[in-house]
Structure 1
Amino acid sequence: MGWSLLYGAASLWWALGGAGYPFGTVADNRASGSVLESSRAEVVAPVLAAVCLAGVVAGVLMVRRRGSGRVRVLLLAVGWAQAIAFALAIPDYTLVAVVVFAPVLVVFAFTGVPGEQHDLGNILYWHRDNLIIVFVGGILWAGATLVYQRRSRGLCVRCGRGGKASARTTPAWTTPEAAARWGRWAVRIALLSTVPYETTRLAWYFGYPLGITPGFLKEMQDTRGMLTIGLSMAIGSVLGGVLTHGLVARWGEVWPRWVWFRAGRPVGLATAIVPAAVMSVVLIPAGVMAIRGWNQPQGWGTTYPAMLWMVWGAALGAATLAYYLRRRGACRVCHRG
């Protein structure tokens, strides 16, 4: 509710002609890949303000535990629509870049950015910062709506089990045995969806214009660090695949011997789930952005492999859920399970 109130007030300010509208037309080197990029404030800002106002009203009713029947369905629709719009539809690849390069960005904050960008403000500027704020709002709405959905059905808010019926049974797909089966398929899909991206970036680094024009490869070769960044992203993708496999492997549950300071101890749920869940969510808007920009003159290799990030994110999210269902055990709140 607080986020919607603040962002709605900002949207109203932009609708009235205030400065700082974050989706307006800017120089190409400052533009984002958001679906709202280059839109007009007088058109989009009032809609954003109205959406946020609807969120505030829905939030008040959710907190007061109001709603049953159609009213409950309407509140859930408003909540999930806001979550999807703000977390998945409006953002672009910025979130993936921030997560992947977070350690480097921390270093740059103290040392400055090498090359022409000089300082961190030339990487994280308002057009991009706003997308991070929007994404946070979507995540908050997802959490709030999930809590309301469970509470309004009489389920445990923490684990989702229980219910008003005295003999309620656990859905078959949530049992550890079922989760182990479909979780393995989710991991396979996630791993396969990364192969085209990794293959093209490795080929470019070694001088093969796979999926792009020779001219574009020459342009990247002449731009210092461009192919190296692509190689590092490909290596990061491979490492991400290895960690994804850990969601169905033994070493994903018990620390292996090569992690000598933790060897033999159980892997904490949060240790695996938090990073996997974050990556699964930030990959989807990056894949959606690639779909919107599919028609690139440089060749299919620039965007087509990145389209599969949406599949990667969805499959990784499913694999993470399966991992959680297999290992969650008894709930500390309702003691079920």
Structure 2
Amino acid sequence: MSDNRSHTTPAAIPAATPAPRRAGWAGWTGYAAALWAAAYGVVALFWTISGRGYPFGPGHAEDSPPLLRSLPAPAGAPLFATVLLVTAVAALAMAGRHAETPPRPARAVLLAFGGTVAAVLLVGVPTVDVLALTGYAPMLILGAPFGRPRGVDYAAVLDWSLLNQALCLIGGYLVTFTVLSWQRRARGSCARCGRHRDGPARDRSRLLALSRRATATAVVIPLLYAVSRYAWLAGVPLGIDDALLRSLWDSGGVWAGAGLATAAVAGAALTLGLVQRWGEVFPRWTPGLAGRRVPIKLAVIPAAYVAPIVVAAGIGIVTSPELGRLTGYSPVLLATHALWLLWGPALAFAASCYYLRRRGACPMCGRQG
């Protein structure tokens, strides 16, 4: 007698439902960049048509970034409008995982254009004012309810030019991540994590060694700045002459310098955490957090913000037209500001290595390593 019982064959087993592909920022950043560029491009069109509102150029010489100091409104406004509207179209073409990948020559042009726009927005437009405001932010926020620091006009600090610099920073990050995710897709890698299906696993020991060198650079440079400012507060004219030191005491500039120096020391200490155990697990002396893992974004996002603005600030200082009229400063002291052009890339690289060491499986492709 034949056995009529049904048998379950491998072919009859339903296939497992694939895990959802969580694209995260790689899924929306291109559309956000296109929207930002289109909106800001319309604002630049208003500058062009009305002749009002252009925040850079000779009329704003003290607040303008080096690239835009000599660019007047009749030329700068339409240039901004044109570049931004083209950027909106390019970002839309690179948006989403279904974006087309053009032939290699066109791909190279699109990547070069997007990379240039991102670099200008992140490094070319911001001035030293953005870095200074970042350093002063704790004092301004905590002191505002008590009327301190005295004599600070918040409306003058947060002016139209600074607002545009902040908008350009936002756009620069959006364009950067749009180009990054699109370039990864174009080479067959995961748009979110950059891992390739057949790529080799990363050598974590080598990554840590490179990270330590970059971190050391990103720690020492701000400390050099802090040493000179603390010396002035102590009455030691380190890198300046006695007349300039007296002038800084009379104007209260030594206190402002000490405040920025404190922010620099705090930033250097946090940067050191990129290669220390306490940068991955909260130490025992942190109430309520001891033993918990430090969120990766808590370390990476501040570094990603500071890295481009210190480069922009360094460029602004060493190319400032006021530099030739300064008296009492040592060339060695002024050279410490030129080191900021190295500080930014070192900090960005150290933060990238920190992220690569600590990241887990990608929510989008599932790969590890």
Q: TM-score, normalised by structure 2?
A: 0.82
- Partners of 2:91 and 2:175 within 8 A in 1: no
1:219 aligns with 2:247: yes
Using the TM superposition, name which of 124-133 and 13-22 deviates more: 13-22
Match of 2:125 among 90, 108, 113: 90
Q: Measure, in 2, the Cα distance between the counterparts of 1:24 and 1:276.
A: 30
Kindly report which structure 2 residues correspond to 1:323-334, keeping only aligned pairs within 5 A, or say none: 323-334=354-365
Kindly report which structure 2 residues correspond to 1:1-337, keeping only aligned pairs within 5 A, or say none: 1-26=34-59, 31-35=62-66, 36-37=68-69, 39-63=71-95, 65-66=99-100, 67-107=102-142, 110=145, 112=147, 114-117=149-152, 119-163=153-197, 167-170=198-201, 174-224=202-252, 226-293=253-320, 294-298=323-327, 299=329, 300=331, 303-337=334-368
- Partners of 2:51 and 2:73 within 8 A in 1: no
- Partners of 1:176 and 1:327 within 8 A in 2: no
- Partners of 2:57 and 2:64 within 8 A in 1: no
CA separation of 1:116 and 1:109: change in aligned 2, threshold 3 A? closer
Which residue type is aligned with residue 250 of structure 1?
A: R
Offset at 1:205?
Answer: 1.2
Which residue type is aligned with residue 228 of structure 2?
A: T
Q: Measure, in 1, the Cα distance between the counterparts of 2:210 and 2:121.
A: 29
- Partners of 2:128 and 2:313 within 8 A in 1: yes
Q: Measure, in 2, the Cα distance between the counterparts of 1:310 and 1:44.
A: 26
- Partners of 1:256 and 1:263 within 8 A in 2: yes
- Over the aligned positions, Cα root-mean-square deviation in angstroms equals 2.2
Q: Deviations over 1:133-192 (max 9, x none)?
A: 1121111111111111112222112111125xxx3334xxx4322210100110111122
Q: Deviations over 1:260-318 (max 9, x none)?
A: 32111221211221222222232111111122125452323664322222211111111
Query: Which protein has the larger Cα radius of gyration, Structure 1 or Structure 2?
Result: 2
Which residue type is aligned with residue 13 of structure 1?
A: F
* DSSP 3-state at the match of 1:101: helix
Offset at 1:17?
Answer: 4.1
CA separation of 1:175 and 1:68: change in aligned 2, threshold 3 A? farther
Q: Deviations over 1:189-209 (max 9, x none)?
A: 112222331222122112222
Q: TM-score, normalised by structure 1?
A: 0.89
Aligned identity (percent) is 35
Gaps of 5+ in 1: none
- Partners of 2:220 and 2:268 within 8 A in 1: no
Which residue type is aligned with residue 355 of structure 2?
A: Y
CA separation of 1:22 and 1:144: change in aligned 2, threshold 3 A? same
- Partners of 1:257 and 1:264 within 8 A in 2: yes
CA separation of 1:26 and 1:204: change in aligned 2, threshold 3 A? farther
CA separation of 1:113 and 1:129: change in aligned 2, threshold 3 A? farther
CA separation of 1:228 and 1:109: change in aligned 2, threshold 3 A? closer
- Partners of 1:186 and 1:318 within 8 A in 2: yes
CA separation of 1:27 and 1:214: change in aligned 2, threshold 3 A? farther
* DSSP 3-state at the match of 1:16: helix
CA separation of 1:273 and 1:285: change in aligned 2, threshold 3 A? same
Gaps of 5+ in 2: 1-33
CA separation of 1:175 and 1:57: change in aligned 2, threshold 3 A? same
Offset at 1:54?
Answer: 2.0
Q: Measure, in 2, the Cα distance between the counterparts of 1:124 and 1:79.
A: 29
Q: Measure, in 1, the Cα distance between the counterparts of 2:143 and 2:220.
A: 34
Q: Measure, in 2, the Cα distance between the counterparts of 1:178 and 1:237.
A: 28
Offset at 1:50?
Answer: 1.8
Which residue type is aligned with residue 10 of structure 1?
A: V
Q: Measure, in 2, the Cα distance between the counterparts of 1:104 and 1:239.
A: 14
Q: Measure, in 2, the Cα distance between the counterparts of 1:302 and 1:39.
A: 30
